[in-house]
RNA sequence: GCCGAAGUGGCGGAAUGGCAGACGCACGGGACUCAAAAUCCCGCGAGGGCAACUUCAUGUGGGUUCGACUCCCACCUUCGGCACCA
């Protein structure tokens, strides 16, 4: 046979798949069970990169594997096209974002076709398509109507460089997730989605989904559930008049007798409530202004150096021991968590300890430990179960017991109750940008905030050529006057549209549902079709934004389930995060990295099938793997040998020489496809080929089965070779079955250990009895025989190992 | 600081508690060739021995077990996530 001309043959098969569409998913297939494989849709920004190669191929292999196993597979693709790349292109070069997206999508999808990916191209869309974002807006309307979306003036993360509000998620560490610049705290109008309400449901989702433990932990930490107590303190002025109450949240109720002060967040509105009683209000105001100007980043960068301001003229009383405690403001207390107020126990919390030292506040020990240098914190005192001191009737009690007893006392006194708190905040959902979904909301002087009617969706983005925010930082849409000015849908009087747009995350928080029924004009997807396709069985993609993306997805699907729009609570059954391809510096390979290699370059030089195999022979799917061309010749040589198999055909049925290897191959390869362990699949194929070449022949049936097994990974070469030999399309064939009985060898080599160390390997019958085995060892290895005489104990695991203890 | 994952030849990496280093690369030797490339065969963790063999080896130190890369405890290192969350 001729040499394998990868360029011509790959082109031939890709053209055929394009024309014949063999990878279309069939709604309501009468016989085949469904299987939904999802690859996280790409951001429409640039060209194909190594991350795509690493991420798409396993999903494609799984989809192809499942099809050959008789499943009706849904394996769709689309474009995440709203967001920064198009917006940046618009502001920098003036190109229309819509044009940018059209070109970008064309490029990336044609490159995906070059990878031989078996997507169902009839279901493709971009999130910026009107008939897609119509339904994103529809979902927002439902959230709004059900009270899950609200607009509020709030202190938010604002990126001066990007001129937009960011969610907490987008501004971690005080840095803008997009541009990397410092984030400021600013007061603005913000749309929030009530995600916090869903904390418990999201935790259940996290428990149910099959996902790597580190990713699950990251999500649990993000939600940040913590169980403690909320306790009420009476507040007094300097005339000892009771003027109100404040509540604190604590997870360390056992330290309550050690309170020497109470701290409010600077933003806490109680400061305004008690304003008239505060003697140094000017000073207090100055402190509040100072902290408001500091970015989150500044606040964190000098964690050690506590700042604060006393509220002169106010004090609180500890309800358990009636001790007075002064009140402070300090920015180490966050307004957004708990009640925005804490009881400070310097002996049991290092932050309180540092603050007390700086402001000369007394430190009262509540446990029998040394606090001369630093506080004894919860982790330590619970581990050591220290005894209580200075805690009234609880003195001498071990702290773990006191924790329960004090909690009971607080409850029975009626001054507090058990309470659960979450770190996760409501999702800030608006951006001052052009290239996003417009909110289907208008503001009417008469009717207030009014939702558009569903029949008026989509609310289409207007055309403009000015993509910059105005001087006040309002969205570019605010400049499009004839779009902004409209009629109130309720009363018909003049009104103005919401000019902010939704964040990039909006479309990606529900897009998998749309693939099920992408052309539906009456619903986000037909309910029966949603029922048929159910949850995504396997969802692959990068790990970069996985925590947020998965939590947002859980949130929306939970909500849609509650309003009866979808039949399932879980968006995904199993989520796998692909590792990175690293450059030779050990850094993520990207366009900006010096040593970046494009997959197109590899394809051009070696062919797609080689590229597909090589990337995954380098390492596991979830591992980060350094890229190298080293070893690619091994893959090329392997595929050459696969191609040469058709010259070695001798005989028809499976031969007795190969029956064991073939059955073992089927078993191993099948298991590894299920688990996306592509690297060990490839090595199994290599071992099998070695055996075939040693024997000098392969039968026709063996070749047929081999090509099917390899097809999901190397679809082009196997399709061509199969057609050459069998005159049919390999896709019409089905997955080979193995039989257990062929996997059992009669003769096995059994390791013999002496005192747990390997001594010999003996070839015996698989089912040999212990006595027969021992006499066989005596016969074959007399040097061990003498030892056998002093044998103490024999551990014999039939078929596995024998260990002789002397 | 907290949470999580991982540490195995020159390299990428394999190993349901049961023959550590599969498979591939690189390297060494040989065959073919005028020669080279390609291809094929053999070898390839380290130390010792002419050899059959033998000792030591999965980050470090302990432990459980007949038997540990695998399980437990402590520590070191790397990577990832979170970070004043009371």
Quote the strand ranges of A224-365, DSSP E: 225-237, 242-250, 261-264, 309-317, 324-329, 341-344
Tell me the percentage of chain A whose pLDDT exceeds 70.
Answer: 94
Per the CB < 8 A criterion, the answer to whether A714 and A642 are in contact is: yes
Closest nucleotide C1' to the C-alpha of A423: B85
Structure confidence by residue, pLDDT tens digits, A224-257 = 999 999 999 999 999 999 999 999 999 999 999 9
What pLDDT is stored for residue A602 in this prediction? Answer: 92
Q: Which nucleotides of B are covered by protein (CB under 7 A)?
A: 2-5, 11-16, 18-20, 22-26, 38-41, 54, 66-68, 79-86
Q: What are phi and psi of A582, to 5 degrees?
A: -100, 150
Closest nucleotide C1' to the C-alpha of A348: B86
* pLDDT above 60 for A788: no
Sole residue written with tokens 């927002």: A140
**What would the mean pLDDT of A721-736 be, rounded to a whole number?**
97
Q: How many CA atoms, within 13 angstroms, populate the side-chain half-sphere of residue A669?
A: 30
**What would the mean pLDDT of A156-167 be, rounded to a whole number?**
72
Distance CA A719, CA A729 (A): 7
What pLDDT is stored for residue A296 in this prediction? Answer: 52
Average the pLDDT over each of A62-76, A200-214, A400-414, A754-768 and give the range with the smallest value. A754-768
What pLDDT is stored for residue A689 in this prediction? Answer: 96
Query: What is the spatial distance, in angstroms and rounded to an integer, between the CA atom of A129 and the C1' atom of B6?
Result: 43
Closest nucleotide C1' to the C-alpha of A636: B24
Query: What is the spatial distance, in angstroms and rounded to an integer, between the CA atom of A790 and the C1' atom of B52?
Result: 25
- Mean pLDDT: which of A92-96, A298-302, A660-664, A800-804 is highest? A660-664
Query: What is the spatial distance, in angstroms and rounded to an integer, between the CA atom of A737 and the C1' atom of B29?
Result: 43
Query: What is the spatial distance, in angstroms and rounded to an integer, between the CA atom of A173 and the C1' atom of B82?
Result: 10
Structure confidence by residue, pLDDT tens digits, A256-307 = 999 999 999 998 999 999 999 999 999 999 999 888 776 555 555 555 678 8
Mean pLDDT for chain A overall: 90
Query: What is the spatial distance, in angstroms and rounded to an integer, between the CA atom of A418 and the C1' atom of B86?
Result: 15
What pLDDT is stored for residue A743 in this prediction? Answer: 86
Tell me which protein residue sits closest to nucleotide B5, measuring alpha carbon to C1': A214
What pLDDT is stored for residue A763 in this prediction? Answer: 83
**What would the mean pLDDT of A462-469 be, rounded to a whole number?**
88
Sole residue written with tokens 């540092």: A354
The strand pairing partners of A442, in sequence order, are: A450, A497
Sole residue written with tokens 């995600």: A195
Average the pLDDT over each of A78-92, A132-146, A776-790 and give the range with the smallest value. A776-790
CA angle, corner A51, sides to A48 and A52, nearest 5? 50
* A406 cis-preceded (ω within 30 degrees of 0): no
* pLDDT above 80 for A69: yes
Per the CB < 8 A criterion, the answer to whether A41 and A78 are in contact is: yes
Tell me which protein residue sits closest to nucleotide B15, measuring alpha carbon to C1': A680
What pLDDT is stored for residue A45 in this prediction? Answer: 85
Tell me which protein residue sits closest to nucleotide B12, measuring alpha carbon to C1': A618
Distance CA A421, CA A710 (A): 52
| Torsion angle of the four alpha carbons A281, A286, A291, A292, in this order, in degrees rounded to the nearest 10 | 90
What pLDDT is stored for residue A167 in this prediction? Answer: 66
* pLDDT above 70 for A786: no
What pLDDT is stored for residue A703 in this prediction? Answer: 97
* pLDDT above 80 for A186: no
**What would the mean pLDDT of A562-569 be, rounded to a whole number?**
97
Q: Is A187 helix (H, G, I), strand (E, B) or coil?
A: strand
**What would the mean pLDDT of A193-220 be, rounded to a whole number?**
92
What pLDDT is stored for residue A437 in this prediction? Answer: 97
Closest nucleotide C1' to the C-alpha of A378: B86
Closest nucleotide C1' to the C-alpha of A547: B81
Q: List Cβ neighbours of A744 (8 Å cut-off, separation of 6 or more).
A: A766
Closest nucleotide C1' to the C-alpha of A628: B12
Query: What is the spatial distance, in angstroms and rounded to an integer, between the CA atom of A758 and the C1' atom of B71?
Result: 22
The strand pairing partners of A536, in sequence order, are: A572
CB atoms within 10 A of CB A359: 15
Q: Is A376 helix (H, G, I), strand (E, B) or coil?
A: coil
What pLDDT is stored for residue A761 in this prediction? Answer: 83
Tell me which protein residue sits closest to nucleotide B14, measuring alpha carbon to C1': A680
Q: What is the value of pTM for the model shown?
A: 0.93
Query: What is the spatial distance, in angstroms and rounded to an integer, between the CA atom of A761 and the C1' atom of B45?
Result: 21
Query: What is the spatial distance, in angstroms and rounded to an integer, between the CA atom of A629 and the C1' atom of B14?
Result: 21
Query: What is the spatial distance, in angstroms and rounded to an integer, between the CA atom of A637 and the C1' atom of B37?
Result: 15
Tell me which protein residue sits closest to nucleotide B84, measuring alpha carbon to C1': A332
A804 or A311: which carries more pLDDT confidence? Answer: A311
Distance CA A619, CA A389 (A): 57
Closest nucleotide C1' to the C-alpha of A693: B40
Tell me the percentage of chain A whose pLDDT exceeds 90.
Answer: 70
Distance CA A572, CA A551 (A): 11
CB atoms within 10 A of CB A185: 18
ipTM rounded to 2 decimals: 0.94
A644 or A788: which carries more pLDDT confidence? Answer: A644
* pLDDT above 80 for A620: yes
Closest nucleotide C1' to the C-alpha of A635: B24
Average the pLDDT over each of A511-515, A542-546, A575-579 and give the range with the smallest value. A542-546
Closest nucleotide C1' to the C-alpha of A632: B25
Per the CB < 8 A criterion, the answer to whether A425 and A415 are in contact is: no
What pLDDT is stored for residue A466 in this prediction? Answer: 87
A777 or A80: which carries more pLDDT confidence? Answer: A80
Tell me which protein residue sits closest to nucleotide B41, measuring alpha carbon to C1': A694
């Amino acid at each position: 046979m001729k040499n394998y001309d990868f360029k011509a043959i790959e082109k031939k098969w890709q053209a055929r798949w394009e024309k014949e569409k063999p990878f279309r998913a069939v709604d309501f297939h009468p016989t085949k069970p469904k299987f939904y494989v999802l690859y996280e849709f790409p951001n429409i920004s640039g060209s194909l990169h190594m991350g795509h190669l690493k991420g798409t191929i396993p999903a494609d292999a799984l989809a192809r594997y499942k099809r050959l196993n008789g499943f009706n597979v849904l394996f769709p693709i689309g474009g995440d096209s709203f967001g920064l790349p198009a917006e940046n292109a618009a502001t920098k070069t003036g190109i229309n974002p819509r044009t940018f997206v059209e070109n970008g999508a064309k490029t990336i999808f044609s490159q995906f076709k070059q990878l031989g990916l078996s997507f169902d191209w009839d279901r493709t869309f971009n999130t910026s398509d009107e008939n897609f974002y119509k339904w994103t807006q529809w979902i927002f309307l439902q959230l709004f109507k059900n009270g899950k979306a609200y607009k509020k003036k709030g202190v938010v993360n604002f990126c001066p460089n990007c001129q937009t509000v960011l969610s907490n998620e987008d501004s971690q560490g005080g840095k803008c997730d997009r541009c990397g610049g410092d984030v400021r705290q600013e007061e603005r109008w913000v749309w929030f989605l009530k995600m916090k309400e869903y904390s418990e449901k999201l935790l259940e989702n996290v428990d149910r989904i099959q996902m790597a433990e580190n990713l699950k932990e990251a999500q649990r930490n993000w939600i940040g559930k913590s169980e403690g107590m909320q306790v009420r303190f009476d507040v007094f002025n300097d005339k000892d008049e009771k003027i109100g109450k404040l509540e604190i949240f604590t997870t360390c109720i056992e330290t309550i007798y050690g309170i020497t002060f109470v701290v409010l967040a600077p933003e806490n509105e109680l400061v305004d409530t008690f304003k008239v009683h505060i003697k140094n209000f000017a000073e207090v105001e100055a402190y509040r202004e100072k902290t408001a100007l500091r970015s989150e980043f500044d606040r964190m960068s000098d964690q050690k150096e506590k700042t604060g301001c006393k509220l002169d003229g106010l004090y609180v009383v500890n309800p358990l021991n009636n001790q007075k405690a002064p009140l402070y403001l300090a920015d180490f207390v966050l307004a957004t968590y708990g009640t925005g107020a804490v009881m400070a126990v310097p002996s049991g919390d290092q932050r309180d300890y540092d603050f007390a030292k700086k402001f000369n506040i007394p430190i009262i020990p509540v446990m029998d430990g040394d606090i001369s240098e630093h506080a004894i914190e919860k982790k330590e005192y619970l581990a050591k179960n220290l005894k209580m001191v200075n805690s009234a009737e609880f003195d001498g009690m071990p702290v773990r017991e006191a924790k329960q007893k004090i909690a009971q006392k607080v409850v029975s006194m009626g001054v507090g109750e058990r309470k659960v708190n979450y770190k996760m905040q409501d999702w800030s959902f608006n951006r001052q940008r052009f290239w996003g979904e417009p909110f289907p909301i208008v503001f009417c002087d008469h009717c207030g905030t009014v939702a558009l009617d569903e029949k008026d969706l989509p609310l289409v983005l207007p055309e403009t050529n000015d993509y910059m925010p105005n001087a006040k930082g309002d969205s570019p849409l605010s400049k499009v006057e004839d779009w902004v000015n409209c009629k109130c849908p309720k009363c018909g009087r003049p009104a103005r549209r919401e000019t902010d747009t939704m964040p990039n995350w909006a479309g990606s928080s529900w897009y998998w549902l749309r693939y099920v029924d992408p052309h539906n004009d009456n619903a986000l997807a037909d309910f029966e079709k949603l029922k048929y396709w159910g949850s995504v069985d396997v969802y692959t993609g990068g790990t970069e934004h996985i925590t947020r993306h998965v939590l947002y997805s859980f949130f929306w699907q939970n909500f849609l389930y509650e309003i009866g729009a979808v039949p399932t609570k879980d968006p995904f059954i199993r989520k796998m995060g692909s590792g990175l391809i690293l450059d030779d510096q050990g850094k993520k390979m990207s366009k900006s990295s010096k040593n970046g290699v494009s997959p197109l370059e590899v394809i051009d030089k070696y062919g797609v099938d080689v590229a597909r195999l090589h990337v995954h022979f380098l390492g596991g799917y979830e591992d980060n793997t350094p890229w190298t061309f080293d070893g690619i010749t091994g893959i090329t040589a392997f595929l050459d040998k696969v191609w040469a198999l058709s010259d070695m055909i001798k005989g028809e049925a499976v031969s007795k020489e190969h029956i064991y290897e073939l059955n073992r191959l089927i078993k191993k390869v099948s298991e590894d496809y299920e688990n996306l362990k592509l690297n060990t699949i490839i090595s199994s194929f290599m071992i099998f080929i070695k055996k075939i070449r040693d024997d000098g022949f392969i039968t026709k049936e063996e070749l047929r089965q081999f090509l099917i097994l390899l097809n999901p990974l190397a679809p082009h070469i196997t399709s061509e070779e199969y057609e050459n030999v069998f005159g049919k399309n390999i896709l019409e064939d089905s997955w080979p079955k193995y039989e257990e009985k062929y996997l059992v060898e009669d003769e096995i080599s059994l390791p013999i250990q002496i005192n747990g160390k390997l001594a010999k390997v003996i070839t015996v019958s698989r089912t040999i009895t212990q006595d027969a085995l021992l006499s066989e060892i005596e016969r074959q290895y007399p040097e061990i025989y003498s030892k056998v005489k002093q044998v103490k104990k024999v551990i014999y695991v039939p078929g596995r190992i024998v260990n002789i203890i002397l």
